[in-house]
Structure 1
Amino acid sequence: MKKELLDKLTSKDAVIGIVGLGYVGLPLMLRYNEVGFRVLGFDIDQTKVEALMQGQSYIEHIPAAAIANARAGGFEATADFARASEADALIICVPTPLNKYREPDLSFVLDTTDSLVPHLRRGQIVSLESTTYPGTTDEELLPRIQSRGMKVGEDIFLVYSPEREDPGNPDFTTRTIPKVCGGITEACQEAGLALYGGVIDRVVPVSSTRAAEMTKLLENIHRAVNIGLVNEMKIVADKMGIDIHEVIRAAATKPFGFVPYHPGPGLGGHCIPIDPFYLTWKAREYGLHTRFIELAGEVNSAMPDWVVSKIANALNERKKSINGSRVLVLGIAYKKNVDDMRESPSVHIMERLRALGADVAYSDPHVPQFPKMREHHFDLASIALTPESIAQYDCVVLATDHDRFDYASIQASAQLVVDSRGKYLSILPNVVKA
């Protein structure tokens, strides 16, 4: 079975199944299609399937032309998981959020696996890319797959290879970002390296699926902890009347021993605000309390409240209250130059302002209409920025520093700007750093 699979992957005769066609799955589909594999995409969202089949894209940084080219190259999208038997490789790229208790919600991974299992066959490889806690692949996926009566490592192959997509980053592509891969057995590992080796410039083998799962968590915990540190430093510097952004720029001139991290209004994206708590939860099983990780999470989670307090103080100094004030939030994507709204701190700021009685609006060139979200609800569309429209608001909050904003015009037109991204370097009478 292994030789037959390896031959198919090497010759590009294998059919690649991508399960979950979002920010991770769609670029991966394009890469496999680009090098000549036939790709079959699976998603439970029928509207996504229909859009892809019509050559349309629903992710801003992925052009429709790329989808149309993939369709011409044989790509198909479907919501019919029974077609999983057609694929030689099944790569699972579905969300792994937290529940309201900050505990892992594996329902997407497990429901997806349960939908695939009845249609698995000998000679396939299954790869999980969703970020999760160490042990998920061998504790949850392995027994489900073996329930089909197939032996993993002989009849069918199972690996974990964490996604490393960075939406909107022009410096790295799916091809150029090294890929970590760990298999349940040596044969699984060999199949995993063949699966990714034909499309990724560098594949990094590790000794087990658990090591691969922990690798992804370490990457994101490293960022979360350092961002938590610099966010706390920002609060201390603010109390001392020091511009933390000036300090960071100065510290970054040291050619060794310092890596600049930048404070902001909170953490966003599907990884950094969520992944550390997957390890925190799993560590409890071993009687461990991950104090460092949880402290960073507390600091980062408090940043939207910090920004709102700065807004309240700034308005108060101008003899206004939040209640009844018109507040315009600039940027509601979680980071600059993308349309990705996942875990955006901007939305938490908007909710807190609304709860305090503010009349909230937003402007974001990448998000023309506030999308439907599971936990956040605003019936709003992006405001066009003109000197006249900006001047109508009591406060303009810079939450996401998109390059397409005209910062000079915003500052010149606004009554008050609360800058949570350190975009304004000089001291200006109507700008408050947050």
Structure 2
Amino acid sequence: MAVLTNIPNNTSARDWRDTVNALIKRIAALEAAGVPVEIPAPAFTTQPSISPTSGTAGSTLYAATPGTVSNGAVVSRVWLLNGVAISNGVTALPASSGTLAYQETASGPSGTTMSTVQVAAVTAATVTPAPAPSFISQPSISPNTGTAGATTFTATAGNISNGSITSRSWTINGTVISTGTTASPASSGTLTYQETATGPGGTTQSTVQQVTVATAAAAAPAFTTQPTVTPSTGTAGTIYTATPGAVSNGTVTSRAWSLNGSVISTGLTATPASAGTLTYQEFATGSGGSASSSISTRTVSAAASTLALSPNALSITSKAAAGTLVSNISNVPAGVTPTITPNDGRLIIAGDAASGWKAVVGMSPLSAGTINYVVAAAGATSASGAVTVSAASSASGAFFTDPFFTNGMFARS
């Protein structure tokens, strides 16, 4: 193979070897003959180039076409971005904008040579910002009206593009009361709800949803315990007493006792003067209205009468005839026959309801002294009297002539 006088790119290793060996022999022959030999330094007969000459950071791959070197070979290369090495191969991919430079170094027997610097422009990549979140549909809240302390409001979330809901806020009159999906305002005013959506493109807030919360109506009074009345039975003249009921959301402001439908007292006690139906009821008032208790009812019986004796003290002789009047008896309840004690025949009951009841001398003999007697009748208070008996000198012939024997209560013997 002929020895090369110029070593082009892509020269085979054999051509390099033959050329260098021939050069060494010539130099050795010249030196042996005393002729000085100067070996030329490596030289770039063609400079390297890069393509493209402009591009975008992060996406454009720059590639080098090596230069052609005489008297040596390229032994190193370097890519610089803004003066900082980013590659030593034949390609480079700059990550940021700036000036990209490429240079090769050739080395041979007589030293090294640098190629010219090849330059390309690197522009910053165009960044397309992520779209901001957007409410495709706005949130809503229900119900659309409510009452403080009684209504729970619920939110239906909005529909979001390019993000998701990251926070919620309920406010009543500007004060946050909840960050969840429900709120139960304790006071009246304007209730608002708003959502915040977040995504790669930032944050967006929904429109503000609002409703009016009304003031809760005051609770009506209520009897938690009913009033009671004592005693459970009684007669006219009995004092009845009420124990007041307990009231929530109010107080007892009035009370009424009625006898047969007519009010007889507005206090805690009542004394019915006659028989009939006695009722008691309480009335409570509060900011939420009024309430009435249940009605307590008592049956009032007529007061027991007191028997009256006229006279209740009498003096007679031991010979007083049977049927002699001892005392008239009054206030005997209808349909009742009075009785007398002692019941030993000395004094007996005579008469009837039509003509009047009487205590009279009976058939048993009287002895001198005092007879203390008691007249009683069912449903009435008994009465007592006394008969003073004095001794008599002779018998009276009027024993069977007293008119009381004509009513059939006594029989002649």
Bigger share in helix: 1
Question: TM > 0.5 between the two?
Answer: no
TM-score normalised by length of structure 2: 0.16
Bigger radius of gyration among the two:
2
Bigger share in strand: 2
TM-score normalised by length of structure 1: 0.15
